[in-house]
Structure 1
Amino acid sequence: MDFTGQGRFTAYKVDRPLTDQERTDRLDRKRKLNTQVRDELSVIKINSTYMELVDRWYAPKGWSVVFAIMLASPFLYAAPVFTQIAIGHNNLESWLFLAFVLSFCVLFFWIAWYGFRLEAFRQTHYPIRLNRKTRKVHAYRPDGSIIEADWDKLYFCVGESVVPAYGKTFDVRAHVLGKDRKTVVDTFTLAYSYMGKKESVPEIWEYIRRYMEEPDGVEQNWRYSDICMPVDGRREGVWFGIVRTFSMAAAWPISQLIFSPVMSVITVGRWIAMYTSKVPKWPAEIDAQYVIEPNDPYCRDWRDNVKFNFQEGVWPVICFVVGLGVVIWGLSELIPALMSAVSD
């Protein structure tokens, strides 16, 4: 998956000049784009003062936890098995081979733990706030720190990343520039569409741009975003974790059923990530800048979500149960077979 900017090995490059690609793909906050508008299920809350969004890693949360467990599991099994073999033979060759195996186990355990910690025991999400009145932007970083920037001074462009075995992904990248207006001194992703489709970047950018720039931007976004992510001061619930994971194929219910074993496992990984992490809380001095006016007619959060229909709210749960059942059945057949093969 796309973990650009999240870990030490994929951190944003700063203290560098703008690239030719970033200059070519600059996004002008004053220019309205002739495109459809999408919020990509990224809104946490919206009102006349500010809009709060989820981070780029929220939608696919769970993948890294699952891959980490899958990577570690064979070695968790191999370490005691080969140790028992070495004890049984009790010769130099066996002990040397065990040392070789355990060195690989330690290496892969470390890789798996690193991947696991990308999502688990962190923050449930890394919110981004855009204040329409003060023109300020605040964004949580994965390390728990918060970046503060002036909307009118940020440099926006189409960000480009390369994900191994997948290819290029794209996002709305926000750069804090130095005094020369050429050097990138800080970076964060303002918006991201699932799996980083380039054609989706203008659509979500226009959604954000009009909120901050257009006179009726608040009303337009308020009318459009009828589903807000239920993570305002709370963890995402078990049911919504299923719905959010399966939403990547929401338009194709049969595909949801076909791929339900994979998606159900990712859902469990998402639960692990969510319920081992803490809910982010804005510092009081920052929260004081985001006061909602009394009787704001454009105030909306998860409590105002439209009611989900069968396909949106019930069908994913059915697919999850079916998929998880298939996975459990498969493991119940596979594990005894593997243990029998090793013992033979």
Structure 2
Amino acid sequence: MDNTGIYPKFPNNRPLTQWERDKQLKQKQRLEVAPRSELAVVKLNSTYLLSVDRWYRQRGFLTLLGLAIAGVGLYWVVDFLWMVATGKVPNENGLWPVIFVGCGVLAIIAVLGLSMAGKELFRWTYYPIALDRKHRMVHVFRLNGTVLSVPWDEVFFTLGRGKGIFGALNWDLRGLVLDKDRKTVRETFAFSIVIDQEKAVIAHWEFLRRYMEEGPAAVIDAIRFCMPVDGQREPAAAGRERIFVNDAGMSGAMWLIMWPFNTLHAWARMLAMRTSRIPRWPADIAATLTVAKDDPYVRDASMNPPDLR
């Protein structure tokens, strides 16, 4: 599970690196790869494409891990203090001070666990990214609820590297907002794809690029499902499906081994979604993201099976 951008945060207010220059993806340069939507699309039409964020795929993992850490820490704090209060542990050889110090350490660990879970609980159901083709703008819903708006042609797109919980490196797709000198990174955002294959990220970039540069007809056939989070909380069945689909390529035995964890992950995802707010664009941005009634390129969650809408 790779939560780069949350843990750790993207580095900003820094020089653009040579590696980022070497991996730059240019808006006007067509790449001869098959576009991949990567289960990122919330809705698509002739005006704009709405995408989920980098952390949507594994949403619920920080909740599960954080609550587990907090639960273990609090359990042992209560257990040790109960043993002291009931006289099961005598105050001999300085044992009580050691227990109290240990309880303090465990309490700190529990607080850190709750802080981790708080990165998903009581936040927003997702952090949408809107590619406004009509006005050639990119709108990004930030983690703090504010919105970044930047012209499509001014964003420096590049590949990025993130690190999973066990240290494995992944590829992702990032947009860098540069200072006027075009050498200093002021802000970073990332699209939904996080994977160990560079070519898959490039294919997703080409999906987004072709939409903006060539229009919806160039990419509409790549969309099989839309994420059902537009103006609503994710249905439990859709969240469960999104968790389990991550392991779709595993062998049957490995899938069964992962089943208990994925079930807990799906429960934690549902908890995160139920406690979080639905993101809303500011009125001035929402006014630009309109769709014509006769638009032939509208795709949204209504195309999904009934339980995934």
Please indicate, yes or no, whether the TM-score normalized by the shorter chain is above 0.5.
Answer: yes
CA distance in 1, matches of 2:109, 2:22: 41
* 1:302-321 equivalences in 2 (<5 Å): 302-305=301-304
Give the TM-score normalised by the residue count of structure 1: 0.84
User: Which residue of structure 1 lines up, in the alignment, with residue 4 of structure 2?
Assistant: 4
CA distance in 1, matches of 2:173, 2:103: 43
Which of 37, 60, 63 is the aligned partner of 2:61? 63
SS at match of 1:134: coil
RMSD of aligned alpha carbons: 1.8
User: Which residue of structure 2 lines up, in the alignment, with residue 250 of structure 1?
Assistant: 248
SS at match of 1:33: coil
1:30 aligns with 2:60: no
Between structures 1 and 2, the one with greater helix share: 1
1:259 aligns with 2:243: no
SS at match of 1:30: coil
**Alpha-carbon deviation of 1:252?**
4.6
CA distance in 2, matches of 1:307, 1:222: 21
Change (3 A) 1:84 1:249: closer
SS at match of 1:289: coil
CA distance in 1, matches of 2:192, 2:264: 26
1:165 aligns with 2:163: no
Q: Is the 8 A contact 2:55 2:192 kept in 1?
A: no
CA distance in 2, matches of 1:103, 1:163: 30
Change (3 A) 1:70 1:141: same
**Alpha-carbon deviation of 1:163?**
3.6
1:201 aligns with 2:201: yes
* 1:39-54 equivalences in 2 (<5 Å): 39-54=37-52
CA distance in 2, matches of 1:197, 1:64: 24
SS at match of 2:12: coil
* 1:108-119 equivalences in 2 (<5 Å): 108-119=109-120
1:134 aligns with 2:132: no
**Alpha-carbon deviation of 1:307?**
6.9
1:98 aligns with 2:96: no
**Alpha-carbon deviation of 1:81?**
1.6
* 1:210-229 equivalences in 2 (<5 Å): 210-214=210-214, 217-229=215-227
1:272 aligns with 2:309: no
Q: Is the 8 A contact 1:173 1:191 kept in 2?
A: no
Letter in 1 for 2:276: S
Change (3 A) 1:122 1:197: farther
**Alpha-carbon deviation of 1:196?**
5.0
**Alpha-carbon deviation of 1:191?**
3.8
Q: Is the 8 A contact 1:68 1:116 kept in 2?
A: yes
* 1:314-333 equivalences in 2 (<5 Å): none
CA distance in 1, matches of 2:99, 2:83: 9
Letter in 2 for 1:301: D
CA distance in 2, matches of 1:15, 1:82: 46
CA distance in 2, matches of 1:272, 1:196: 28
CA distance in 1, matches of 2:10, 2:237: 33
Q: Which runs of 5+ in 1 are unaligned?
A: 314-344
Q: Is the 8 A contact 1:62 1:119 kept in 2?
A: yes
SS at match of 2:24: coil
Aligned identity (percent) is: 36
Summarize deviations over 1:87-130 as a string: whole Å, max 9, x none.
31452623202211211112211210111011111101000000
Q: Which runs of 5+ in 2 are unaligned?
A: none
User: Which residue of structure 1 lines up, in the alignment, with residue 288 of structure 2?
Assistant: 289
Letter in 1 for 2:4: T
**Alpha-carbon deviation of 1:221?**
2.1
CA distance in 2, matches of 1:122, 1:62: 12
Structure 1 residue runs of 4+, over 4 Å off?
Answer: none
Q: Is the 8 A contact 2:233 2:278 kept in 1?
A: yes
Q: Is the 8 A contact 1:191 1:204 kept in 2?
A: no
CA distance in 2, matches of 1:234, 1:138: 19
**Alpha-carbon deviation of 1:198?**
2.4
Letter in 2 for 1:66: L
**Alpha-carbon deviation of 1:168?**
1.7
Q: Is the 8 A contact 2:77 2:107 kept in 1?
A: no
Paired positions, count: 304
CA distance in 2, matches of 1:249, 1:82: 40
CA distance in 1, matches of 2:277, 2:306: 28
Summarize deviations over 1:9-28 as a string: whole Å, max 9, x none.
x2221111111110110111
Query: Which has the higher relative contact order, 1 or 2, with Cα contacts under 8 A spaced 6 or more apart?
Result: 2
Letter in 2 for 1:234: Q
**Alpha-carbon deviation of 1:253?**
7.1
CA distance in 2, matches of 1:192, 1:228: 15
Summarize deviations over 1:61-102 as a string: whole Å, max 9, x none.
111111112212222221122112223145262320221121
